Structure 1
Amino acid sequence: MTLLDIKDLTVRIPGAARPVLDSVSLRVAPGEVVGLVGESGSGKSTTAKAAIGLLPTGAEATGTVGFAGTDVLALSGERLRAHRAGPVAMVHQDPRAALNPVRRIGDFLTERGATRARAAELLEAVGLSSPERRLRQRPHELSGGMLQRVVIAGALAAEPRLLLADEATSALDVTTQAEILALLRTLRADRDLGLLLITHDLHLAAAYCDRVYVMYAGRVVEERSAQALFTTPTHPYTRGLLSCSPTLGTTHPLHPIPGRPPSLSDTFTGCPFVSRCGEAEQACETWTPEGTQLMDGGTAECRVVGNRSAGRNGWAQPPSQSTATKEASHG
């Protein structure tokens, strides 16, 4: 069963030279943690917001955003408000931006439909001690980690089936980050909650996600199980991200991806990663991006990968670690 099912979603906004999202497909099942990674501007947050019908002003969208059999893009008015207030909830990066600084925590939770007793139960469920006292406090009296727990409690007030976490732990220290992620994993297990986790932290995605989507320039360039993605990355961009990500216990030098990701004012043909890719060939400049099916069930959107996999039953053979590192150092 699929809870969130985005198919071929393309989003264009006025004044942009290219789509914000370009034929994006993504799915989340109940009880599944799905990661969405990529550089800033790759379209991660827009993809998540599409799940609650929150697209940029003036945006034109094609494709479907299915949630439990309902096309979210077709909802409007009261039906859209009910969708945002019920089965789907979103937790943003900065919890202070979600809370009114002059109102009490109890006001924040009860305005989301919870009774005061229920609000206290939610605070206890997210690991906050003395919930009755917390309800009387204002945001400035709580730490960042405590506020993030409050925002998660607010998101859970309507018993959602899908939780969208947009960089929900990036502003927290490592210890608090681990506690919040452990909390989300517990809630997933207890409530059969689907979770879409947006993050820049590749190691976090590897540790907590079942599957991971890698985005670049508004497209999904690779989708694999977390284990497969981080042990045998296939797309040159994925390998580039991993080659410039530090890992404890290793001493190998980091190799940043050269250049910069394209902005919405940039136009290009062919593969969007071609100008930064060390494996690119001339044909990549005019190639129409399409996914290559991998034997493990994932996909990688790369012409070179597609050619490499020909005659191998759909399996795009990943390079050795040394080869991947060498290639990443050249782009």
Structure 2
Amino acid sequence: MLLDIQNLTLGLPGAARPLLADVSLRVGSGETVGLVGESGSGKSTTAKAVLRLLPEEASVAGRVLVDGTDVLALSGAGLRQHRAGTVAMVHQDPRSALNPVRRVGDFLVERLVRAGGTVDRRTARAKAVELLGTVGLSDPERRFSQRPHEMSGGMLQRVVIAGALAAEPRLLLADESTSALDVTTQAEILALLRALREERDLGMLFITHDLHLAAAFCDRVYVMYAGRVVEQQEADRLFTHARHPYTRGLLACSPELGDTDRALRPIPGRPPSLSDAFTGCPFAARCEHAEPECSIWLPEPVPVPGGGTAACRRLADLSEASEEPTEPPLATVPSSLVKSSPAKRSTL
């Protein structure tokens, strides 16, 4: 298993609850695994733990294994090599990763020289131009000399992806990497990521708020709430046979393309903050199926029919209703672009 997070718990001084609590998650080579949930659920923190980009004051327990090596035990050169060559991360806003007064080619050359092990800057330049072509940018020689303000958001996202691929990582962490893009460009970036995954046998952890994208793009999906994984299933089955009340709530409040008659049902209340302590199910205060015992009894993940797990005290009571399949959310991007292998070349 390429990525194997085992019972990861992360606490911060003064917090009433852990930032992450007993999180277990796995990603195999050539597999795309989705991580969904509301803001503050712990998705980005989980990804940062894979690079060990955690607060110094945090208390950490559990294991984060990448290719069999525990990231939490690395230090010095070993940690630098892990961050430079084994795992790469693509963030939501590409402009925050680039210096606005330097050429985008300089960003790639520096990445190749410092992280990719290429000491010859001439060789690094040629490789940078090649990478710009790999991620689908037209006229990569000209793009190399452009500055960020001369490129669109979608083109800059391709540049950042090229930087992530510079050291040929085995695992790619995509943290809301398409949320700031328009629908067409979003689809092009997803098609590019899919093609790169297939060509390089990349494992990918795909973090998103968009359930439609997770359904269309991922093989398996983990659902997080208040720092815990509450459900995980194969993507197709999760979106047709959701088991946990929180997952079903997310689907109920997610609009579906073309379905104007379907009423959206928002989840009442708000997610708990780090100052909100609880002893039972973290979702109990917002759950329409909650009973008094739910507020004092913390459920453990249990297997569900069809594979996967869910953590709900009333899972057996709700299973009969869950057997009725629900319609999967319709993708808000063209499925032909999302599913296709060839990277669509950007001419913008």
TM-score past 0.5 threshold = yes
Choose which of 314, 324, 338 in structure 2 pairs with 1:304.
314
Unaligned runs of 5+ in 2: 114-123, 327-348
Letter in 1 for 2:95: R
For residue 144 of structure 1, what is the aligned residue in structure 2? 153
Match of 1:328 in 2: none
Deviation at 1:15, TM superposition (A): 1.9
- CA–CA distance in structure 1, aligned partners of residues 318 and 218 of structure 2: 28
- For the Cα contact (< 8 Å) 1:234–1:317, is it kept in 2? no
Could you say what secondary structure the match of 1:64 adopts? strand
Q: Which amino acid in 2 is paired with 1:303?
A: R
Aligned equivalents of 2:325, 2:194: Cα separation in 1: 31
- Equivalent position SS for 1:56: coil
The residue aligned with 1:327 is none
Do 2:8 and 2:21's aligned partners in 1 also have CA atoms closer than 8 Å?
Answer: yes
**Deviation of the 1:321 alpha carbon:** 6.3
Which runs of structure 2 are paired with 1:163-312 in the superposition (5 Å)? Answer: 163-250=172-259, 251-306=261-316
Counterpart contact for 1:9–1:64, Cα < 8 Å: yes
Write the deviation string for residues 241-264 of structure 1: whole angstroms up to 9, x where unpaired.
000000012121100000000001
State the structure with bigger RCO (CA 8 A, min sep 6), 1 or 2: 2
Q: Is 2:62 aligned against 1:63?
A: yes
1:229-276 per-residue CA deviation (whole Å, 9 max, x = no partner) reads 001111000000000000012121100000000001111110000000
Which region of structure 1 is more displaced relative to structure 2, 244-253 or 183-192? 244-253
Q: Check the 8 A contact 1:4/1:28 in 2, yes or no.
A: yes
Percent of aligned pairs sharing the same letter: 70
Kindly tell me: are residues 75 and 306 of structure 1, through their superposed partners in 2, closer, same or farther at Cα, counting changes over 3 Å? Answer: farther
CA distance in structure 1 between the partners assigned to 2:262 and 2:236 by the alignment: 22
* Letter matched to residue 166 of structure 1: D
> How many Å separate the matches in 2 of 1:307 and 1:64?
34
8 Å contact kept, 1:14–1:58: yes
Letter in 2 for 1:305: L
* 1:84 aligned partner, one-letter code: R
Q: 2:322 is matched with which residue: 310, 318, 331?
A: 318
* Conserved? CA contact 2:240–2:325, under 8 Å: no
Q: CA offset at residue 317 of structure 1?
A: 5.9
- The amino acid of 2:284's aligned partner reads V
2:330 corresponds to which residue?
Answer: none
Tell me which amino acid in the other structure corresponds to 2:97: A
Report deviation, 1:289: 2.2
Partner in structure 1 of residue 2 of structure 2: 3
- Contact preservation (8 Å) 1:292, 1:306: no
Say which SS state the counterpart of residue 267 (structure 1) adopts. Answer: coil
Q: Which amino acid aligns with 1:159?
A: E
Task: Find the aligned partners of 1:320 and 1:234 in 2 and give their Cα distance.
Answer: 11
Q: Tell me the C-alpha RMSD between the 2 structures.
A: 1.3
Q: Give the counterpart letter for 1:318 in structure 2.
A: S
Quote the Cα distance in structure 1 between the aligned partners of 2:58 and 2:75. Answer: 15
Mean CA deviation greater in 198-207 or 71-80: 71-80
Cα distance between partner residues in 2 of 1:289 and 1:138:
52
Q: What per-residue deviation string (whole Å, max 9, x for no partner) do you get for residues 6-48 of structure 1?
A: 0000000122110000000000000000000000000000001
Contact 1:292–1:299 (8 Å) recurs in 2: yes
Task: Calculate the TM-score normalised by the size of structure 1.
Answer: 0.93
Q: In 2, Cα distance between the equivalents of 1:257 and 1:319?
A: 22
Structure 1 position 56, deviation (Å): 2.2
Partner AA of 2:217 in structure 1: Y
Contact 1:9/1:65 (8 A) holds in 2: yes
1:247 is paired with a residue whose SS is coil
Tell me the CA shift for residue 306 of structure 1. Answer: 4.1
Aligned-partner Cα distance in 1 for 2:83–2:321? 42
- What TM-score do you get using the length of structure 2 for normalisation? 0.88
* Count of matched residue pairs: 315
Contact 2:44/2:207 (8 A) holds in 1: yes
The residue identity in structure 1 corresponding to 2:322 is P
SS in structure 2 at match of 1:113: helix
One-letter code of the match for 2:287?
A: C
